[in-house]
């Protein structure tokens, strides 16, 4: 048996290196003895918590093969050391002086070797301002700080989604791992494009872990991943990634469970919400409506939305209200009940009016009715808060507060009194719906998903007298509709109208001036700058071609 072999007894164990050095390359056993005045000690420690690694018979066999003990330099006279490491864990054991000195030097190593550490140790300790007592006193002094604590965290917690702790309750195939990884790394970010500014991503923390306990929801998430893989530019998805191969067993599971709606689980409802979202992304209004009717009935049988875990409520409501937005129909579910204050409640007292103030004045001069104008004020505050949080890395938004704001604004817009379908009020309502939609998905305007609302916006703008609107409002409406029209026949019309506007208004003839106007409206730089810049490039190409 080699001198490097260690037999670990049961229970916690602290092993301290006694000072052997690794020998030069090519040495027989990797070790060499100290030479007086030439050796340099290195002190390493290993702290395992181990169970017995050998059976009793194996231990007996090892003891029979144990080599002769070797004398250890630095140990007390007459003491010998059998192993490379020594046991220093038993407090009542009579230790040799060499071990005790070695342990002390190992513990104090950083202190003696680091002058800054010595100076730091001499300073009096000051209680951190983030301690519980400090936070409590701050909250007592400032009610706004209490709201901030509920919405924001300076140390966003992580979320555990690894498959630690055992197998799944259902069988998985090898290629599922690629789809699972794609959901965690890509689809979750698509669902929450501002996840870097949030305390956590619900898709990571709640939905995926729930899917690991239920085969239907698990397969539904894989189906969404497979669809995402096939739509990537230059995707070379294999036959095993075919989404239709995942839907057959998924629909089989769902059909079995839906035989008795009273026994339908929360995870089953979550799986159906995934199918509803897919139908929305592909502009399939009838499929979305079918899924939402079934979801609404299951939720009613369970006792309403409040009977569903909060961690799943926003997933269901997003599937409902985003589908209603894309199809311009009424949501099937009741609106989310607020559990968090609106995110705008953390904004500091207004010292300088936000950039969107001028835009709100323009809307007021456009003779918007009061309910619609109030919704625009809410949108302005919502986006102002997002810009505020994005610019400050120490602030993180609670995703539930984000969802409540976005879903409730969309819900209010969809339930406004019916406006003239060819008029400024309807154009502003549709523009507001598209504006909120641009914040809730990394790819909010997938081809087909916004075809209905973009077509309606075009009709509303064509039928509204130009005298009813100022040029800056026209610019915002045309850009909001234009970035949503990607992949639709209406793209050419929005490009033409923007080119025409830039010719009529000289101050809107350059990208810099256009961006300045858009920034003073309803704008989040990290989300809107790229699509608007691309649309401006199309406008420029159109102008060059037609000059």
CA–CA gap between residue 524 and residue 383 (Å, rounded) = 7
Domain boundaries, the chain: 168-327, 343-545
Q: Which pLDDT score is estimated for 368? A: 87
Place of tokens 């507001």: 432
Q: Which pLDDT score is estimated for 70? A: 47
Q: Which pLDDT score is estimated for 122? A: 53
Q: Which pLDDT score is estimated for 371? A: 94
Q: Which pLDDT score is estimated for 233? A: 53
Which residue in 267, 274, 314, 312 sits closest to 183, CA to CA?
A: 274
Q: Which pLDDT score is estimated for 105? A: 58
Q: Which pLDDT score is estimated for 13? A: 53
In the chain, the N- to C-terminal Cα span, in Å, equals 89
Q: Which pLDDT score is estimated for 448? A: 73
Q: Which pLDDT score is estimated for 241? A: 55
Q: What is the mean pLDDT, run by run of 10 residues, along the chain of 547 residues?
A: 52 50 42 40 37 40 47 46 47 54 54 51 44 35 40 38 56 87 91 92 94 94 88 52 76 90 91 94 90 95 94 95 94 93 86 82 88 95 93 91 96 91 91 95 80 94 79 94 92 95 90 94 93 94 84
Q: Which pLDDT score is estimated for 232? A: 63
Note the Cα 114 to chain centre separation in Å: 40
Q: Which pLDDT score is estimated for 98? A: 62
Pair type for strands 49-50 and 15-17:
unpaired
b/e 397-406 (16+ beta carbons within 10 angstroms → b)? bbbbbbbbbb
C-alpha pair distances (Å), 111 with each of 97, 116, 122, 123, 390: 21, 9, 11, 14, 40
Which helix (H) or strand (E) element contains residue 7? none
Q: Which pLDDT score is estimated for 293? A: 95
Count CB atoms within 10 A of the CB of residue 274. Answer: 23
Q: Name residue 199's beta-bridge partners.
A: none
Q: Which pLDDT score is estimated for 347? A: 86
Side-chain-side CA neighbours of residue 323 (13 Å): 28
Which residue in 497, 478, 495 sits closest to 435, CA to CA?
A: 478
Q: Which pLDDT score is estimated for 166? A: 45
Whole-model pTM: value is 0.69
* Long-range Cβ pairs for the range 105-108 (8 Å, 24+): 105/43, 106/16, 106/43, 106/45
Q: Which pLDDT score is estimated for 126? A: 42
């Amino acid at each position: 048996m080699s001198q490097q072999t260690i037999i670990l007894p049961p229970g916690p164990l602290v092993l301290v290196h006694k000072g052997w050095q690794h020998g030069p390359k090519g040495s027989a056993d990797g070790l060499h003895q100290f030479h007086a005045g030439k050796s340099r000690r290195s002190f390493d420690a290993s702290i395992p918590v181990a169970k017995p690694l050998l059976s009793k018979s194996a231990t007996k066999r090892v003891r029979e093969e144990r080599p002769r003990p070797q004398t250890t330099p630095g140990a007390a006279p007459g003491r010998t050391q059998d192993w490379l490491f020594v046991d220093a864990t038993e407090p009542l054991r009579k230790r040799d002086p060499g071990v005790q000195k070695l342990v002390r030097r190992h513990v104090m190593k950083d202190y003696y070797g680091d002058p800054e550490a010595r100076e730091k140790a001499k300073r009096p300790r000051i209680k951190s301002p983030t301690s519980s007592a400090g936070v409590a006193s701050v909250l007592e002094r400032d009610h706004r700080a209490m709201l901030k604590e509920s919405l924001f965290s300076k140390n966003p917690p992580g979320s555990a989604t690894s498959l630690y702790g055992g197998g799944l309750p259902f069988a998985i195939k090898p290629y599922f791992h690629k789809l699972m990884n794609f959901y965690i790394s890509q689809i979750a970010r698509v669902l929450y494009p501002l996840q870097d500014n949030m305390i956590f991503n619900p898709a990571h923390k709640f939905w995926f872990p729930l899917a690991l306990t239920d085969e239907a929801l698990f397969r539904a998430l894989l189906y969404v991943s497979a669809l995402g893989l096939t739509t990537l530019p230059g995707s070379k998805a294999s036959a095993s990634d075919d989404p239709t191969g995942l839907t057959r067993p998924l629909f089989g599971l769902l059909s079995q469970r839906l035989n008795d709606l009273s026994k339908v689980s929360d995870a089953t409802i979550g799986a159906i919400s995934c199918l509803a979202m897919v139908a929305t992304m592909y502009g399939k209004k009838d499929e979305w409506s079918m899924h939402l009717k079934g979801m609404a009935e299951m939720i009613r049988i369970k006792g309403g939305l409040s009977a569903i875990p909060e961690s799943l409520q926003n997933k269901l409501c997003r599937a409902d209200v985003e589908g209603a937005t894309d199809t311009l129909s009424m949501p099937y579910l009741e609106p989310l009940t607020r559990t968090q204050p609106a995110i705008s409640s953390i904004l500091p007292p207004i010292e300088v009016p936000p950039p969107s103030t001028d835009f709100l004045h323009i809307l007021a001069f456009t003779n918007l009715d009061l309910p619609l104008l109030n919704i625009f004020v809410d949108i302005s505050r919502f986006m102002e808060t997002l810009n505020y949080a994005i610019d400050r890395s120490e602030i993180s938004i609670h995703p539930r507060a984000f969802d409540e704001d976005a879903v409730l604004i969309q819900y209010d817009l969809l339930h406004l009194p019916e406006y003239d379908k060819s008029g400024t009020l309807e154009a502003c309502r549709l523009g507001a719906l598209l504006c909120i939609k641009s914040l809730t998905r990394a790819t909010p305007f997938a081809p087909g998903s916004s075809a209905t609302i973009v077509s309606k916006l075009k009709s509303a703008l064509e039928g509204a007298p130009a005298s009813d609107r100022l040029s800056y409002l026209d610019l915002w409406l045309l850009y909001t509709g234009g970035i949503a029209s990607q992949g639709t026949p209406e793209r050419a019309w929005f490009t033409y109208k923007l080119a025409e506007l830039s010719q009529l208004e000289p101050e809107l003839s350059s990208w810099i001036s256009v961006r300045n106007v858009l920034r003073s409206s309803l704008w989040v730089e990290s989300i809107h700058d790229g699509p608007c810049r691309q649309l401006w490039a199309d406008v420029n190409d159109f102008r060059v071609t037609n000059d």
